[in-house]
Structure 1
Amino acid sequence: MLVHDIMRPSSPTIGLVSLGCPKALVDSERILTRLVAEGYTISPTYQGAHVVIVNTCGFLDSARAESLDAIGEALAENGRVIVTGCLGADPDAIRETHPRVLAITGPQQYEQVVQAVHEAVAPPHDPYTSLVPPQGIHLTPRHTAYLKISEGCDNRCSFCLIPALRGDLVSRPAGEVLAEAERLAQAGVKELVVISQDTSAYGRDIGHGASPWRDALVPARLTDLAAALGSLGVWVRLMYIYPYPAVDDLLPLMAEGKVLPYLDIPFQHASPSVLRAMRRPAAQDKVLDRLASWRAQCPDLTVRSTFIVGFPGETEADFQALLDWLAEARLDRVGCFKFEAVAGVPASTYPDPVPPEVAEERWHRLMAQQQAISHERLAAKVGRVMPVLIDTVDETGAVGRSSADAPEIDGTVILPGVHGYAAGDLIKVRIQKARDYDLIATPITPPARPTARERLQASRAPRRR
């Protein structure tokens, strides 16, 4: 999908298609920020662009296919295409299918992308166009922003290609992260979504060294960073938490309201043998105890996770162990993937592959069981009052998210027939009904803006002379 336009008359125009995860979206934002600072205009159409950048995903074969299709579409519609992102780490695969692309760069190679754009269409030289907002260019709604705290990953999970694509862990100094977060908050962002490949490992590669922010030194450690982010007066949501014991240290911050009571922990499986084959922590019994402890400390805690079914060697007993574990864990949000044998990851060569039809059947069984659990967890919220961040408003009403809902991943809170609010408003609502993944609510906070009916009535009211 092409990004929205950022118009400047008579400037060279760039189209950008951003695929993949939020971490790739942040890469796209950095590229756009640099190009707009140089005076380029961002076009919302292929036809209006002098050149098109396609930021690709290469994590799974299905994602690679989607990326190749997007490159082909851009070539057909525009003809001048620069490829970047994770699939760019395999330039031969791209050239084999699309030899006409102008240039190929890998993930995080921002300077190379910008240089390729310069070669394709020279930047303008008007100094008055070289201005961008201090918070940079963002592709998310104005009230929500992703905050990337590190690149790469030191884990070597047997099913994952990320270290090969993005390299080992490289953490940003805490002061740099906090300065960016502060600029975003000052620009009107109401929710910071903290992302990386392994958020729990933040700062480990730099010895958790401290860096200056405001009048203090802040260590590059997740708990210290989260506490400092919590002082900015915005929602702070932590994503991609690896299940280290240090996660326990985050719960007091959540209980105090410093960060949202939301944990996104990809457990991946529950069978010890499958977890060992995945090269993941295998003490799931202890995880159940920790879940109980977390919920005791922070009753409003939402736990989201992802799992893989059909991993090589997964038996019916292994899968049943996963179902039994999920029944006991009662997680709020669950995503599930069917294993894909991606070239370059160790698990692709493991013996005893699970037939696709078996993996498909297991996927449906897991999702059916979890749907009932998720509905039960949501139904327990009926009658409660909670804060909601409004995302969209149209003629049918408003749609927002609670602290339990990450943007574009989890469910929503629907306010039918409600008007007078705007995207970015943080209001209180009372939950009236639960669906399988969404909540229906009515607002308690009065709207800050008059409704259409109120404006009409005001226009018809007699004026005093």
Structure 2
Amino acid sequence: MARPSVKIKAKASAKVRRLAHGAVAPQPRTPKVGFVSLGCPKALVDSERIITKLRSEGYSIARDYDGADVVVVNTCGFLDSAKKESLDAIGEAMNGNGRVIVTGCFGVEEDRIREAHPGVLAVTGPHQYEQVVSAVHDAVPPLHDPFFDLVPPEGLRLTPRHYAYLKISEGCNNRCTFCIIPSLRGDLASRPSNHVMIEAERLVSAGVKELLVISQDTSAYGLDLKYAESPWKGSPLKARFLDLSRALGDLGAWVRMHYVYPYPHVDHVIPLMAEGKILPYLDIPFQHASPSVLKAMRRPASQEKTAERIRRWRDVCPDLAIRSTFIVGFPGETEEDFQFLLDWLKEAKINRAGCFKYEAVEGATANAIEGAVPEEVKEERWHRFMAAQKDVSSEILREKVGSTIDIIIDEVDEDGAIGRSKWDAPDIDGNVFLNGEEGLKAGDIIRGKVVEADEYDLWAERA
């Protein structure tokens, strides 16, 4: 391990590697577990749950490979490049420690993992928490019975104290042709609404100022439960996107919605953003705009006139920011399709966008679609996309100069502070720099006047 506690690869990348740090000093002879977490925020939550369980059983979290009795590697298997990174991380842990347990999305390919690293102790799949804990028990048994007071009510997390990811469901019912998530994580399985709210309330009580709601399809929340009610604060609360959004908004923290599909019922959540109940921010993975490409992708809600829908949303909530991800070079994508995407990007004024070149991921049905796009064409389109998005982002941010905005502080040093606006999620979006500002600490939410902007970031002075 012997690396920084959080290693961010690139803002546009979905792959993030983190190494857990225990907050409590290890006791003599306490078994120590090293942890390496790869992949998206959903995998990060899985890692948090596993280390919370282990810590409650008396284990401590090692800071490096040498100090660990066993190392758990939570892998990502979404893209072939992510699988390679997972294999490299497993190899690094094997070289640094030699006693390794593998879990996560890539764990479904146990044969491939064991072929590359035959010495791993155990391999489990995604969100198989009990199997991971059992494998740790086999490798290094706990020395005593659990003491639950060693673990705070909100559990142990890999994020800074002032923000936390809140997973509301597992799996996905969609069958997009480029995606293998359903085969890795199964169909949609929503958590009861009161379970989500109990966790959210505990996080806020522990000092969390921002809740980042995540799942594979957040706007489909509760569909599998038939929107069943569960008791919350003396009243029934439906497992439904709108009802959950309203309840989370009552907790007094920033609430940010990720991985939302533009289904019609999302329209009813926009007024909550206009009222300030939840943040005016939607992370919507559009992936493309061309009707023919969306049809080939089998994207849900692809028939909707999304640019028109976004305009209606902004009529209700003018401050609404849209973040999205897109794929260029999908099989069959023509130059006309790609130009359609660029024109739509400018029309819809997407605030933040990430772009990926299509990868023929093993097991994805899109690989059988005719018209594979040459790699050099993918590369050229990627650069054109990023240039177009840079122009859109620059224009939007220039309009913020002179305005006064809310800013949540993430870091403070001798030069000032770095924060984020309501329109920016951690790690993937922009920053607000407050040069020379003093007396701030991480987690503060302040008012600041925007004095400068570039393509992706803002500079502000404390108001």
Normalising by structure 2, we get a TM-score of 0.94
Tell me if the contact between 2:262 and 2:301 (Cα under 8 Å) persists in the aligned partners. Answer: no
Q: Whole-Å Cα distance in 1 between the matches of residues 300 and 145 of structure 2?
A: 55
Aligned to 2:156, the other structure's residue is in SS state coil
1:65 matched to which residue of 2?
84
Tell me if the contact between 1:175 and 1:218 (Cα under 8 Å) persists in the aligned partners. Answer: yes
- CA shift at 1:5, angstroms? 2.9
Q: Whole-Å Cα distance in 1 between the matches of residues 331 and 212 of structure 2?
A: 33
1:298 matched to which residue of 2?
317
CA displacement 1:46-95 (0-9 Å, x = unmatched)? 11100000000000000000000000000000000000000001101100
Q: Whole-Å Cα distance in 2 between the matches of residues 44 and 406 of structure 1?
A: 27
Q: Whole-Å Cα distance in 2 between the matches of residues 373 and 156 of structure 1?
A: 31
Tell me if the contact between 2:331 and 2:371 (Cα under 8 Å) persists in the aligned partners. Answer: yes
Where in structure 2 are the equivalents of 1:10-159 lying within 5 Å? 10=28, 11-125=30-144, 128=147, 131-159=150-178
- CA shift at 1:282, angstroms? 6.6
CA displacement 1:147-174 (0-9 Å, x = unmatched)? 0000000000000010000000000000
Gap runs ≥5 in structure 1? 445-465
Corresponding residue pairs, total:
444
- CA shift at 1:245, angstroms? 1.1
- CA shift at 1:350, angstroms? 1.5
- CA shift at 1:130, angstroms? 5.7
Paired AA for residue 255 in structure 1:
A
Paired AA for residue 411 in structure 1:
G
1:185 matched to which residue of 2?
204
- CA shift at 1:12, angstroms? 0.3
**CA distance change for structure 1 residues 173 and 161 in 2, over 3 Å: closer, same or farther?**
same
1:360 and 2:384 matched: no
Paired AA for residue 175 in structure 1:
N
Tell me if the contact between 1:212 and 1:218 (Cα under 8 Å) persists in the aligned partners. Answer: yes
1:412 and 2:431 matched: yes
1:397 and 2:397 matched: no
RMSD across aligned positions (CA):
1.1
Paired AA for residue 3 in structure 1:
A
CA displacement 1:310-331 (0-9 Å, x = unmatched)? 0001011111111111121111
- CA shift at 1:131, angstroms? 2.3
Q: Whole-Å Cα distance in 1 between the matches of residues 69 and 303 of structure 2?
A: 53
Aligned to 1:390, the other structure's residue is in SS state strand
Paired AA for residue 40 in structure 1:
Y
Q: Whole-Å Cα distance in 2 between the matches of residues 126 and 297 of structure 1?
A: 55
1:256 and 2:275 matched: yes
Identify the match of residue 209 of structure 1 among 228, 233, 250: 228
1:458 matched to which residue of 2?
none
1:242 matched to which residue of 2?
261
1:2 and 2:24 matched: no
Paired AA for residue 154 in structure 1:
N
**CA distance change for structure 1 residues 45 and 86 in 2, over 3 Å: closer, same or farther?**
same
1:456 matched to which residue of 2?
none
Tell me if the contact between 1:158 and 1:279 (Cα under 8 Å) persists in the aligned partners. Answer: yes
- CA shift at 1:128, angstroms? 4.8
Aligned to 1:197, the other structure's residue is in SS state coil
Where in structure 2 are the equivalents of 1:443-458 lying within 5 Å? 443-444=462-463
CA displacement 1:24-56 (0-9 Å, x = unmatched)? 000000000000000000011111100000000
1:307 matched to which residue of 2?
326
Paired AA for residue 204 in structure 1:
L
Paired AA for residue 331 in structure 1:
I
Paired AA for residue 200 in structure 1:
S
CA displacement 1:417-447 (0-9 Å, x = unmatched)? 1121000001000000001111000112xxx
Tell me if the contact between 2:188 and 2:224 (Cα under 8 Å) persists in the aligned partners. Answer: yes
Q: Whole-Å Cα distance in 2 between the matches of residues 130 and 92 of structure 1?
A: 39
CA displacement 1:243-296 (0-9 Å, x = unmatched)? 211111111110111100001111111111111000014757721111111111
Q: Whole-Å Cα distance in 1 between the matches of residues 108 and 92 of structure 2?
A: 20
Q: Whole-Å Cα distance in 2 between the matches of residues 317 and 423 of structure 1?
A: 47
Deviates more, 1:124-133 or 1:217-226: 124-133
Identify the match of residue 353 of structure 2 among 334, 337, 361: 334
Aligned to 1:232, the other structure's residue is in SS state coil
1:221 and 2:240 matched: yes
Amino-acid identity (%): 64
Identify the match of residue 391 of structure 2 among 364, 368, 372: 372
Aligned to 1:335, the other structure's residue is in SS state strand
Q: Whole-Å Cα distance in 1 between the matches of residues 273 and 381 of structure 2?
A: 34
CA displacement 1:104-123 (0-9 Å, x = unmatched)? 00000000000000000001
Paired AA for residue 439 in structure 2:
G
Tell me if the contact between 1:270 and 1:282 (Cα under 8 Å) persists in the aligned partners. Answer: no
Greater C-alpha Rg: 1
Aligned to 2:434, the other structure's residue is in SS state strand
Q: Whole-Å Cα distance in 2 between the matches of residues 391 and 348 of structure 1?
A: 41
Aligned to 2:33, the other structure's residue is in SS state strand
Paired AA for residue 9 in structure 1:
Q
